[in-house]
Amino acid sequence: MKEVRSDPADLKGQYAAQVAADLANNAREQERVSAELAVLEKQLQALQADRALLESIRQAVTTGTLPDAAAPPRTADGASPPEPGQGAAVPAPREKSPAADRARVAESKASPARPARKKSAKNDGPTLGELILSHLVAQPEPRSAAEISAALGESHPQRAPKATVVRTTVEGLVAKSLVERSKQGSSVFYSALASPPQSRGDNAETAPAPEAPAT
């Protein structure tokens, strides 16, 4: 059989391609190792700093003096922060001042500001009782609380009293003997009295003057 001989030019091209690939891989490996080396250098520097701090603390524990380099940080009020694993320091209770106690007692006894009094209903017009009484006086027949409320709502829309309020008010008029209550079945009706009751002094007849004794 005849031997197949490779062309020297092709061999040179293959070698050149292989060398180029190896150079590229070498460059990537150098970059990777350089990055790892930078990280390791930083870790080494941190470990060295920790060692220096630990040695200064050991020296302080041994000699009983704490160098400035190993002194723990201070808080804003000058107190040392709690060590790891310990809770925050509980501040000491402040001494009570008798003057401050008296001031607090005076403030607690001070009466709160009283709310402004509401304007009297008379300043805005007649009261609800007066309106109800005037309405009943003008009615020829007794009216229920619902009918009175509806009538006042039409004549005085700005007031528009509810039936429950009207019933309470008209019952007050009944207690004052200004309105008379009557029942028709289960319904209750109200009517104004012809005239309010007079006092006993007004109803009492004038006693005749005693006759003079005969002489």
> Mind listing the pLDDT tens digit for each residue in 13-60?
888 999 999 999 999 999 999 999 999 999 999 999 999 999 999 999
pTM of the prediction? 0.34
- Alpha helices (H) in the chain, listed in sequence order: 8-63, 98-109, 121-124, 128-137, 145-155, 163-175, 200-203
Q: Which two tokens stand for residue 135?
A: 């309405």
Residue 155 has what pLDDT? 85
Residue 74 has what pLDDT? 58
> Mind listing the pLDDT tens digit for each residue in 142-181?
888 888 888 888 888 887 788 889 889 989 999 998 998 8
> Mind listing the pLDDT tens digit for each residue in 70-107?
455 555 555 555 555 555 555 555 555 566 666 666 66
Among 208, 181, 204, smallest CA distance to 192 is for 181
Do you know the residue count of the chain?
215
Residue 212 has what pLDDT? 47
Angle in degrees, CA 96, 99, 102, rounded to 5: 100
